Structure 1
Amino acid sequence: MKTMKWKQVGIIVAACSLLAAGCSETTAGPEESQPVVKVWKLESNQAGSIASGKIAPAEEIQVVSKLAGKVEQVHVKEGSVVKKGDVLVSLEANDYLEQIRQAEAAIASAQARLLDTQAGARSQELQRLESGVEQAKAALEVAESSYNRMKALYDSGAISQADLEKVTLELEKARTGYDQAKAQYDLAKAGPTANSVAALEAEVKRLQSGLQLAKSTYENTKIVAPISGIVARRSIDPGEMAQPGVPLLVLVQMDQVKVEASVPQEQINQVKVGSAVDVKVDNRTLKGTVEFVSPISDTNSSSFPIKVRLDNKDGALRAGMLAEVYLPNQATDSEVKIPSSAVVTKENKQFVYKVDRDIVHQVEVTVGEIKGDWVAVTKGVAAGDQLVLNPGDDLAEGSKVIVN
C-alpha cells in the first residue's frame, strides 16, 4: 500500500511540473504583448489647410500616326525608356518609296525639256527649217504662176469658174505653207521666249514640291517619340492597321511629376503661382512649387484646381498616388490639421495618443472643423508629435507599443 501511495504522489508531482513548464513556455514575453501601431507624424509646417490630390506625370503624350497603314514593326514595349526622336512604330512603306521614284523621274524629264528650250535650236535644225522655207517659197511661186495663167484663160472664157477656183485654192495652200515654214524658222532662230522658259521652270518647281511631299509622307511611316520618357501604354501590334489620330502608344515623362489638387473658394486667392509648398506622400514630405492656379472652378463644385510640380529623380513617385499639399498661410497659427482617425472620443472629450519612443501618452485635444478625413486641432498637439492612427481599446496612458 505504501508503494502505491508513493507512486500516486510521484505522478501528482510530475503532472504539476509539466503544468508549470507548459505555463512558462506559453506565457508571452513583454515585447510579444506590445500592440503594433501605425503613426502619423505632424511636421513643423503642417499648420493650415490641406489640399488632397493625386500624382500625375509632368507630361503625358498620346502617340498617333499621321497616315493610315499596316504596322510593320513596333520597336518598344510597355516600360521602355525612350528619347525624343527614337523610332517607336514603323508602317509598311513600299508604296511611298515608289511615289518618290516616280516623282524623281518626272523631275528629270521636266529638267531635260527646260535645258533643251534654254539652249535653243541647233544649227542643223536651223538649216533644215531654212531649207523648208525655200521649198515653200518655190511652191508658192509655182502656184502664183499657175493662177495667173488660169486667170487669163478664165477672163478669155477658155475655162470655167470651177477650174479657176481650183487653182485659187492651190495658191492659198501654197501661201499658207510658206507662212508657216517661215514662222517656224524665225521662231527657232530667235530662240525661246521668256514665257516659255518660265512655264517650264514652274513645272520643274511643281514637280519638286511633289517630291518633297512624297518624301515627307514616307518619313511619316516612321512614328517617332515626341518627348523623352517611358512607354506607359501600348495598344498596337505588328500586322494591325494604324489610323490617323488613333493613339498607338502613351508616353509619360516622370523625372518630374505634378500634384493635381483642388482648393476651396475662400482660400484660392492665397495660393500664388511660383510659391513653395510642402507635399506629403506616404509619410514623405517633399518640396514642391505651385505652377498653375486655375482661373475657373471645377464644374461641379466651388473648388479651384491647382497643380504643384515635384522632382522625381528617384522614380519613387508614381501616377495615381495620393498626396496632401500643405498650403501656407491658410489658417491661424494655433490650428493644425490631423487625420480624423487619430482622434478618439471618451466621455464627451476628444483625445489623441502620442508615441514617445515606444510609450503611449493619452492627451486631450480641442478640435474644431471636421472636413472629410481631416480635423482641425487648436490645442493639444505640436510639431514633431507622432500620433497613433486608429487606436484600439487596448491603448492607455503608459502603454508600450511597437511602431510599424
Structure 2
Amino acid sequence: MRSSKRARGLKRTAVLVGLVVAAGGAWTALQGTRTTPAAEATHAMAEEARPVAVAVVSQIDSATPVEVTGTVQASLAADLSAKIMSRVTQVLVREGDRVQAGQVVVRLDAADLTAAVRQAEAAVRSATEAVKQARTEADIQAVQSSTRVAQAKAGLEAARQQLSMAMEGPRKQQKLQADSGVAEAEGALAQAKANLSLVREGARRQQRLQAQQSVLQAEAQYRAAKATYERYRSLFEQDVIPRQRYDEVKAQFDTAAAQYEIAKQQASLVDEGARPQEVLAAEEAVRQAEARLQAAKQQRELAHEGGRQQEIAAARAQVRQAEEALRMAQAATAETTIKQDHISLLAAQQQQAEAALQAARVQAAYAEIRAPFSGVVTGRRVDPGAMAAPGTPLVRIESADGHRLEATVPEARIRLIHLGQAIRVGIDSLRWEGTGRVTEIVPSADPGTRTFTVKIALPAVPRITSGVFGKAWLPGDERTRLVAPATAVVRRGQLESVLVMVDGTARLRMVRTGEESGGQVELLSGVQAGDRVIVSNPAGIPDGSPVRER
C-alpha cells in the first residue's frame, strides 16, 4: 500500500518538474525574440526613410447636400380618349411608334356622323336657295314698285300740266310744241306712204345689190364666228378655257348665224317682192300715221284756242285718277318691307342651318383621334372592335423633346429651392449624373408625407425613359468639415484608414468617411485638422515605417 502511494507521489513530482522546465524554455524563447523600444528605434534608424507625398487635413465650412429621390417623367404627356361613344375601327399606332402633331392614331365608326353631316349640308343648300329666291323676288318687286311710283308721279305731273293748260290757256311754247307735233306727224305720214309705195312697186336694182352685199358680209361673219366657235369648243372640252369664255364665243356664233339668216331672208324679200301681209302692214302704218296726224292737229287747235269747260272737267278727273294711282303705287311699296322681313327670317334660318352643319362636322371630326403634339407612343390600351367611351384612355403619347425628374422634397428643405436653380441629379439605372434646372415647385404639400413635389428639367440623356428612378442632391445646411484627398484613404472591406506622418514615421489611423466630391473626401473621425496624411500609395506602406516628405 505504502509503495503504491509513494509511486503516485513520484509521478506527480515528475509532471511538475516537466511543466516548470517547459515554461522556462518558453520564457527564454520569448525573451530571445522580443525587441526592446530602444532596439526598435535603433533598427528603424538603421532603415532608409521612404519618400512620400503628404497632404494636410483641412477644415472647411460648406453645406452638405441632401439626397432626395423621385421619378423621371416626360416633359409633355397625354392620354388620348374619345369624345363620343363609338366602336373602334382602326388603331394606327403601336408602342414605340413616333407620331407627328395632328397625325390620326385611332379611327372610330362614323357612319351615323357622316349621314348627319350630309343631312346638314342639304339643309344649308335648301336654306341658301330659299334666301336667294326670296331676295330675287324682293328685288323684282322693289323695281316694279319703284317703276309704278315713278310712272304714277309722271302721270300725275302730266295730268296737272294738262289741267293747267286747260284752265290757263295755251302758252307760246305749247303752241310751238303743238305745231312741231303736227309737222312730225305729217313727216311720219309721208314716210309711211313712201314705204307703202315701195312695198307695192317692188325693190329697185340698187336695193337688190345692197341686199346681196349684206348677205355676203353676214356670211363672212358667220363663217368666222363658226371657226372661232369650233376652236373654242375643242379647248373647252379639254378644260383649257373657262365656261364663261366658251359661252361668250357661242353667243357670238349664234348672233352671226341669226344675222346671216336675216340677211338671206331680206335678200329673198327684195328679189321676190313684198308679200300680201307686208302690203297690209304698210297700209296699216299709213292709217296709224294719219290718226296721229289728226290727233296732233286737234292738240294744235286746243293749244291755239284754249280749253273748254268739258276739257277742264276731264283734266281734273285725270288729275284725281293720277293721284289715286300714285297712292296705290306708294301703298304697294309696303310689301317690299314685308319681303325684307321675310328675307331676314330666311337668312336667320340659313345661319341656323350653317351652325348645325358646323356642329355636325365637329362631331364627325371626333371620329378621328389625332396626336396633339409630336412624340412617342408609350401605351396602347385598345384594339379594333372595342367600344370607346368618353374619358377612357385609348393611347398614351409622350413628347420626345425632354424629360423631368419629379422629386419628393421634405418641407424643411423646400425653403432652399427656387425656380431656375441648378440641381445635381442622377439616374442609377443609366449610371448617369448631371445638372438639371428647377422648372416648377408644386405650391401645396402632401398632408400625409409632409413633402413637396419639385419638377427638375433634365438635359438630353441617351436611352432615358419615363418611370425610372432618379435622385437629386439639394443644398444642405452650412457646417464645418475635415477634408483630405480621397487618395489618402485605404479601404479593406468595411474598414477605412489613413497613414498620418508623425515625426518621420507612418502611423495607422482608423477613420470614418463622409461625402466624396471633387477628389476630396470628408473625414468624420480619426484625424484632426492639421494632420499630415500620406497620399502616395498609402496601402503599400506598413504602419510604423520611416517616411520623409518629398
Common fold: TM-score over 0.5: yes
Q: Partners in 1 of 2:509 and 2:427 — Cα distance?
A: 26
Per-residue deviation at 1:317? Answer: 1.8
Matched to 2:371, the amino acid is A
Q: Partners in 2 of 1:311 and 1:46 — Cα distance?
A: 25
Quote the residue 2:441 is aligned against. 293
| Percent identity for Structure 1 against Structure 2 | 28
Contact 1:73 1:91 in 2 (8 A): yes
Secondary structure of the equivalent of 2:74?
A: strand
Cα displacement string for residues 58-101 of structure 1 (whole angstroms, at most 9, x for unaligned residues): 12211011111111111101111111111000112222222111
Residue 201 of structure 1, aligned match among 347, 363, 374: 347
Q: Partners in 2 of 1:190 and 1:307 — Cα distance?
A: 70
Contact 2:497 2:509 in 1 (8 A): yes
Quote the residue 1:325 is aligned against. 472
Q: Are 1:104 and 2:252 counterparts?
A: no
Q: Partners in 2 of 1:55 and 1:335 — Cα distance?
A: 35
Contact 1:120 1:188 in 2 (8 A): no
Gap change, CA 1:302 and 1:320, over 3 Å in 2: same
Quote the residue 2:420 is aligned against. 274
Contact 1:57 1:257 in 2 (8 A): yes
Quote the residue 1:239 is aligned against. 385
Per-residue deviation at 1:204? Answer: 0.4
Per-residue deviation at 1:331? Answer: 4.5
Secondary structure of the equivalent of 1:120?
A: helix
Q: What is the TM-score when the length of structure 2 is the normalising length?
A: 0.42
Gap change, CA 1:335 and 1:218, over 3 Å in 2: farther
Matched to 1:238, the amino acid is P
Matched to 1:55, the amino acid is V
Quote the residue 1:118 is aligned against. 135
Gap change, CA 1:198 and 1:51, over 3 Å in 2: same
Quote the residue 1:334 is aligned against. 481
Contact 1:67 1:244 in 2 (8 A): yes
Matched to 1:278, the amino acid is R
Residue 460 of structure 2, aligned match among 308, 312, 316: 312
Matched to 1:276, the amino acid is A
Cα displacement string for residues 321-371 of structure 1 (whole angstroms, at most 9, x for unaligned residues): 2222111354436389xxxxxx9999xxx84489xxxxxxx984346xxxx
Query: How many pairs align?
Result: 260
Q: Partners in 1 of 2:333 and 2:108 — Cα distance?
A: 53
Contact 1:276 1:287 in 2 (8 A): yes
Q: Partners in 2 of 1:219 and 1:235 — Cα distance?
A: 21
Q: Partners in 2 of 1:213 and 1:94 — Cα distance?
A: 16
Secondary structure of the equivalent of 2:511?
A: strand
Q: Partners in 2 of 1:205 and 1:83 — Cα distance?
A: 36
Q: Are 1:259 and 2:259 counterparts?
A: no
Q: Are 1:212 and 2:358 counterparts?
A: yes
Correspondence list, 1:28-107, <5 A: 47-107=64-124
Per-residue deviation at 1:209? Answer: 0.4
Q: Partners in 1 of 2:98 and 2:342 — Cα distance?
A: 57
Correspondence list, 1:369-380, <5 A: 377=514
Computing the radius of gyration over CA atoms, which structure comes out larger, 1 or 2? Answer: 2
Which stretches of structure 1, 4 residues or more, deviate above 6 A after TM superposition? Answer: 343-346
Structure 2, unmatched stretches of 5+, are: 1-61, 145-327, 484-489, 499-507, 523-537, 542-550
Q: Partners in 2 of 1:273 and 1:189 — Cα distance?
A: 72
Secondary structure of the equivalent of 2:481?
A: coil
CA RMSD of aligned residues (A): 3.7
Query: By percentage of residues, which structure has more strand?
Result: 1
Structure 1, unmatched stretches of 5+, are: 1-44, 127-181, 337-342, 355-361, 368-376, 388-395, 400-404
Per-residue deviation at 1:232? Answer: 0.8
Q: Partners in 2 of 1:49 and 1:322 — Cα distance?
A: 17
Quote the residue 1:17 is aligned against. none
Cα displacement string for residues 129-187 of structure 1 (whole angstroms, at most 9, x for unaligned residues): xxxxxxxxxxxxxxxxxxxxxxxxxxxxxxxxxxxxxxxxxxxxxxxxxxxxx9xx958
Gap change, CA 1:89 and 1:255, over 3 Å in 2: same
Matched to 1:280, the amino acid is G
Cα displacement string for residues 356-395 of structure 1 (whole angstroms, at most 9, x for unaligned residues): xxxxxx984346xxxxxxxxx27xx5533799xxxxxxxx
Quote the residue 2:50 is aligned against. none
Cα displacement string for residues 199-236 of structure 1 (whole angstroms, at most 9, x for unaligned residues): 11100000000011111111111100012111111111
Gap change, CA 1:382 and 1:230, over 3 Å in 2: closer
Quote the residue 1:372 is aligned against. none
Quote the residue 1:384 is aligned against. 519
